[in-house]
């Protein structure tokens, strides 16, 4: 269908997820490469993340129930399926096949021959991991437990094959994301917690619940202004409910320097680059070493700047040996680079890998 003589007509099935708009940009670019059109975006059951998102106003939008009530209206369309990104979408897969639709997973579509230019990180991960496959296999020695090794191999399979359904085979509890219940992160009332990439503050509250609202301090870092407003609102509501607790929100990203750097993307997918920002197109960033005097636990979920942030916190890490939860999926080189940095600290961290999402997200190295 992608290479046929007829116009490529695409249905994007599922708008779920805070990162949908970024992925939709890639899909639009891929469809444009073939001179095709996006017929509609289908909101699946209980999907409210982007139901009224103004960024989607230029597209026809329908709900799954309305689509299946009259699938013939979209006969001949190729379905680009995102449902398994957030939960097993087998009920939709069966019904789409029964209705005669050709279906491709979104990462498979974006990397189909002729569309690779729009595929972004999917192709980058696959090509680099294949070219350095022996090196990636050798990283197995870092993992403390068999569960980590299994998670690691499923992750390699997902990235290399560009079939992200592999992530669903080894997935933990999303409700406890970044704080896997089977790993003792040495949390407690005496700890200073740095939450980097706080977005709207949900993970701060997961931490607070875990320690029963007893902590020395929480520092939440979020550089995007709109996200920061939502973070501040959530934290203010939390403080109003639980009392005057030492929670501090910083409208800053974390990096290996202090400054104003160019940023790309929007919403939950804002990425800081190495380039200096010009007025209006950048984000303020800082070194954690320049912001904090103490650190007990560090969480990094910062869209590919994790390694730079670790370099900017090297002094704190060397002095205080914090436990850490570090995302390891944004860049193709995350596994070798992050593991090498942690090993170089000389702290003999016990390393585990946990995955708590049905997509690449929340794939984290735990250092204890």
Rounded mean pLDDT of the chain?
90
- Chain centroid to CA 226: how far? 18
DSSP classification of residue 176: G
- For residue 291, what pLDDT is reported? 98
Query: Parallel, antiparallel, or unpaired: how do β-strands 9-13 and 78-81 relate?
Result: parallel
Name the CATH topology of 9-118.
Rossmann fold (3.40.50)
Q: Which of 80-94, 293-307, 314-328 has the lowest mean pLDDT?
A: 80-94
The whole-number pLDDT of residue 192 equals 97
> Which is more confidently placed, 262 or 312?
312
**CA-to-CA dists, residue 108 to 101, 118, 141, angstroms:** 16, 11, 31
Judged against a pLDDT cut of 80, whether residue 88 lies above it is answered with: no
Minimal CA–CA distance to 313: which of 225, 253, 227?
253
- On whether the CB atoms of residues 120 and 175 are closer than 8 A, the answer is no
Q: Phi-psi region for residue 318, left (φ > 0), alpha (ψ -120 to 50) or beta?
A: alpha
The answer to whether residues 196 and 300 touch, using CB atoms and an 8 Å cutoff, is yes
Whether residue 87 has pLDDT greater than 70: no
Rounded to an integer, the average pLDDT of 283-295 is: 97
Token digits of residue 166 = 């592999």
Looking at residue 268, its pLDDT comes to 58
Strand ranges, E, within the chain:
9-13, 37-43, 61-63, 78-81, 102-105, 192-196, 217-221, 247-250, 253-254, 259-264, 271-276, 282-286, 297-300, 323-327, 351-355, 363-367
Which pLDDT score, from 0 to 100, does residue 121 have?
67
Band the pLDDT of 269: cuts 50, 70, 90: low
pLDDT bracket for residue 183 (50, 70, 90): very high
* Residue 1 pLDDT grade (very low, low, confident, very high; cuts 50, 70, 90): low
- Kindly report, residue by residue over 237-248, the tens digit of the pLDDT: 999 999 889 999
pLDDT at residue 89 in the model: 63
Q: What is the pLDDT of residue 23?
A: 85
pLDDT single digits (tens) 116-168: 666 666 788 899 999 999 999 999 999 999 999 999 999 999 999 888 878 88
**Lookup: tokens for 197:** 């990439």
Distance from C-alpha of 221 to C-alpha of 199, rounded to nearest angstrom: 8
Is CATH 3.40.50.150 the classification given to domain 174-367?
yes
At 68, the pLDDT band (50, 70, 90 cuts) reads: very high
Average pLDDT over residues 26-35: 89
At 256, list the tokens.
Answer: 């290996």
Q: Other C-beta atoms within 10 Å of 314: how many? A: 16
Burial group, residue 103, by CB count within 10 angstroms (0-12, 13-18, 19+): middle
pLDDT of amino acid 256: 96
Q: Could you report how far apart the first and last alpha carbons of the chain are, in Å? A: 50
Q: Which of 322, 326, 324 is nearest to 303 (CA)?
A: 326
Would you call 51 helix, strand, or coil by DSSP? coil
Give the pLDDT band (50/70/90) at residue 199: very high
Residue 69, pLDDT score: 94
Mean pLDDT value of segment 172-199: 94
Domains of the chain, by residue range, sit at 9-118, 174-367
Average pLDDT over residues 336-361: 94
Asked if the model's pLDDT at residue 3 lies above 70, the reply is no
Give me the percent of the chain exceeding a pLDDT of 70: 93
Asked if residues 309 and 254 have their Cβ atoms less than 8 Å apart, the reply is yes
């Amino acid at each position: 269908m992608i290479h046929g003589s007829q116009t490529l007509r695409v249905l994007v099935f599922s708008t779920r997820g805070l990162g949908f708009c970024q992925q939709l940009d890639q899909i639009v670019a891929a469809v444009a490469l073939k001179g095709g059109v996006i017929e509609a975006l289908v909101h699946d059951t209980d999907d409210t993340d982007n139901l009224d998102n103004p960024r989607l106003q230029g597209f026809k939008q329908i709900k799954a129930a309305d689509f299946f009530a009259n699938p013939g209206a979209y006969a001949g369309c190729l379905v680009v399926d995102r449902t398994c990104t957030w939960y097993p979408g087998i009920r939709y897969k069966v019904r789409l096949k029964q209705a005669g639709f050709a279906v491709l997973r979104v990462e498979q579509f974006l990397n189909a021959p002729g569309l690779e230019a729009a595929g972004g990180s999917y192709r980058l991960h696959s090509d680099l991991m294949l070219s350095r496959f022996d090196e990636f296999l050798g990283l197995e020695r870092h993992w403390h437990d068999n569960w980590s090794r299994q998670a690691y191999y499923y992750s390699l399979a997902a990235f290399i094959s560009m079939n992200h359904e592999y992530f669903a085979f080894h997935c933990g509890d999303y409700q406890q994301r970044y704080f896997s219940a089977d790993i003792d992160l040495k949390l407690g009332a005496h700890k200073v917690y740095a939450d980097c990439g706080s977005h709207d503050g949900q993970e701060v509250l997961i931490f607070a619940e875990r320690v029963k609202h007893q902590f020395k301090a929480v520092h939440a870092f979020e550089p995007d202004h709109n996200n920061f407003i939502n973070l501040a609102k959530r934290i203010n509501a939390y403080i109003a409910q639980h009392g005057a607790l030492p929670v501090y929100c910083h409208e800053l990203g974390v990096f290996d320097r202090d400054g104003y750097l160019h940023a790309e993307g929007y919403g939950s997918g804002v990425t800081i680059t190495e380039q200096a920002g010009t007025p209006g197109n950048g984000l303020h960033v800082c070194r954690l070493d320049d912001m904090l005097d103490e650190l007990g636990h560090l969480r990094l979920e910062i869209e590919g700047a994790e390694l730079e942030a670790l370099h900017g916190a090297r002094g704190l890490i060397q002095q205080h040996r914090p436990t850490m939860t570090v995302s390891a999926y944004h860049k193709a080189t995350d596994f070798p680079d992050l593991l090498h940095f942690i090993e170089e600290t000389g702290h003999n961290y016990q390393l585990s890998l946990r995955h708590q999402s049905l997509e690449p997200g929340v794939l984290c190295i735990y250092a204890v």
